[in-house]
Amino acid sequence: MKGLFDLKGKVAIVTGGNGGIGLGIARGLASAGANLAIAARNEAKTAQAVKGLQEEFGVKAIGVKVDVKDEKQVKDMVKKVLDTFGRIDILFNNAGTNIRKLPQEYVVDEWEEVLNVNLRSAFLCSQAVYPAMKAAGGGKIINTGSMTSIFGAAKVMLYSTSKGGIVQMGRCLANAWAQDNIQVNAILPGFINTDLTRQGRKDIPELEERVNARTPAGRWGEPDDLAGTAVFLASKASDFVTGVALPVDGGFSIAML
Ligand X SMILES: NC(=O)c1ccc[n+]([C@@H]2O[C@H](COP(=O)([O-])OP(=O)(O)OC[C@H]3O[C@@H](n4cnc5c(N)ncnc54)[C@H](OP(=O)(O)O)[C@@H]3O)[C@@H](O)[C@H]2O)c1
Contact present, 201 and 207 (Cβ < 8 Å) = yes
Among residues 146, 132, 45, 116, the alpha carbon closest in space to that of 26 is found at 45
Contact present, 35 and 60 (Cβ < 8 Å) = yes
Choosing from 61, 64, 68, 174, the residue that interacts with ligand X (CB under 6 A) is 68
* 115 is an interface residue for ligand X by CB under 6 A: no
State the binding string over 23-42 for ligand X (x if CB under 6 A, else -): -----------------xxx
130 is catalytic: no
Report the C-alpha gap between 222 and 249 in whole angstroms: 10
* 245 is an interface residue for ligand X by CB under 6 A: no
State the binding string over 165-204 for ligand X (x if CB under 6 A, else -): ------------------------x-xx-xxxx-------
Q: What's the one-letter identity of residue 23?
A: L
Measured distance between the N- and C-terminal CA atoms of the chain, rounded to whole angstroms: 40
- Nearer CB in complex with ligand X: 83/195: 195
- Name the active-site residue from 85, 92, 130, 159: 159
- Nearer CB in complex with ligand X: 85/191: 191
- Nearer CB in complex with ligand X: 55/195: 195
Report the C-alpha gap between 237 and 233 in whole angstroms: 7
Choosing from 22, 33, 164, 247, the residue that interacts with ligand X (CB under 6 A) is 22
Among residues 223, 168, 239, the alpha carbon closest in space to that of 190 is found at 223
Contact present, 42 and 18 (Cβ < 8 Å) = yes
Site residues (CB under 6 A) for ligand X? 15-16, 18-22, 40-42, 45, 66-69, 94-97, 117, 144, 146, 189, 191-192, 194-197
